[in-house]
């Protein structure tokens, strides 16, 4: 059965994401992706000009998943509640699927190392800022909340706290109560923001 080029590209992108989650970014080669997708190597090379283009497509697919997560956050409950619900969702995803976040971090580092060649590194955090900024702005507006720091700064601060806590968790999930420390630090940020 013939697979359309569009469908084959989606299969290759899905295979790339799965391979990154399971074995890490360093394991991603065109040959490994083709094998994971059960596609001929020539087809993978036909659909994508190389590993960099495929990695960028996989990162774009990953970033699109942000929207599916954020649709569940009720804005009418206010800014603090929205930030806390996003934090709970992020932490739950970290505990349930740590390999996914590890692969995402590896992808960010890979893209940053190749930043002069790839615009991917410059897209990743801004995508989070847009998505979370929309959630947090809607929540603040719908509840009449005043935030003493700008929403973009709130988002960046949230991501800094989460990234640091997640990295510590990934190095040793049993070492300390990373979750409690994450939420304590997040509470300090929200208090500073006046919400």
Q: Which domain holds residue 102?
A: 58-192
Per-residue pLDDT tens for 153-186? 999 999 999 999 999 999 999 887 999 999 999 9
Number of domains present in the structure of the chain: 2
- Regarding whether 74 and 116 lie in a shared domain, the answer is yes
- Residue 182 lies inside a defined structural domain of this protein: yes
Same domain, 43 and 63: no
Q: Do residues 12 and 84 share a domain?
A: no
Check whether 67 has a pLDDT greater than 70: no
Pair 91, 170 in one domain? yes
Tokens of 31: 């040959």
The whole-number pLDDT of residue 142 equals 92
Residue 53 within a domain? no
Q: Which long-range CB contacts under 8 A does 126-135 form with residues at least 24 apart?
A: 127/63, 127/66, 128/66, 128/155, 128/159, 129/155, 129/156, 129/159, 131/66, 131/67, 131/70, 132/70, 132/86, 132/158, 132/159, 134/70, 135/70, 135/73, 135/75, 135/82, 135/86
Distance in angstroms (rounded) separating the CA atoms of residues 58 and 111: 12
Q: Are residues 139 and 174 in the same domain?
A: yes
Same domain, 116 and 158: yes
Same domain, yes or no: 38 and 91: no
147 located within any domain: yes
**Mean pLDDT score, 14-18:** 90
> Which CATH number does the domain housing residue 187 bear?
1.10.357
pLDDT of residue 104: 84
Domain match, 150 and 177 both: yes
Same domain? For 92 and 177 the reply is: yes
In this predicted structure, what is the pLDDT of residue 118? 62
Tell me the pTM: 0.83
Place of tokens 């897209």: 123
| Residue 34 sits in the same domain as residue 63 | no
Residues 114 and 36 in one domain: no
Q: 39: which 2 tokens?
A: 């596609």
Residues 176 and 132 in one domain: yes
Q: Is residue 157 part of a domain?
A: yes
């Amino acid at each position: 059965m013939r697979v359309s080029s569009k469908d084959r590209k989606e299969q290759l992108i899905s295979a790339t994401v799965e391979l990154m989650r399971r074995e890490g970014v360093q394991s991603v080669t065109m040959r490994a992706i083709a094998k994971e997708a059960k596609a001929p190597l020539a087809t993978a090379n036909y659909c994508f000009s190389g590993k960099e283009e495929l990695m960028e497509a996989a990162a774009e697919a990953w970033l699109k998943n942000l929207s599916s997560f954020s649709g569940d956050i009720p804005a009418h409950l206010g800014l603090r509640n929205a930030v806390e619900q996003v934090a709970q969702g992020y932490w739950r995803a970290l505990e349930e699927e740590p390999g996914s976040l590890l692969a995402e971090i590896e992808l960010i580092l890979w893209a940053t190392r190749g930043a002069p060649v790839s615009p991917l590194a410059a897209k990743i955090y801004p995508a989070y800022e847009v998505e979370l900024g929309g959630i947090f702005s809607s929540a603040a507006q719908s509840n009449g909340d005043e935030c003493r720091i700008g929403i973009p700064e709130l988002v960046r601060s949230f991501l800094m706290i989460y990234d640091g806590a997640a990295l510590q968790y990934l190095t040793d999930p049993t070492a300390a109560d990373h979750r409690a420390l994450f939420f304590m630090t997040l509470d300090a940020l929200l208090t500073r923001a006046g919400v």
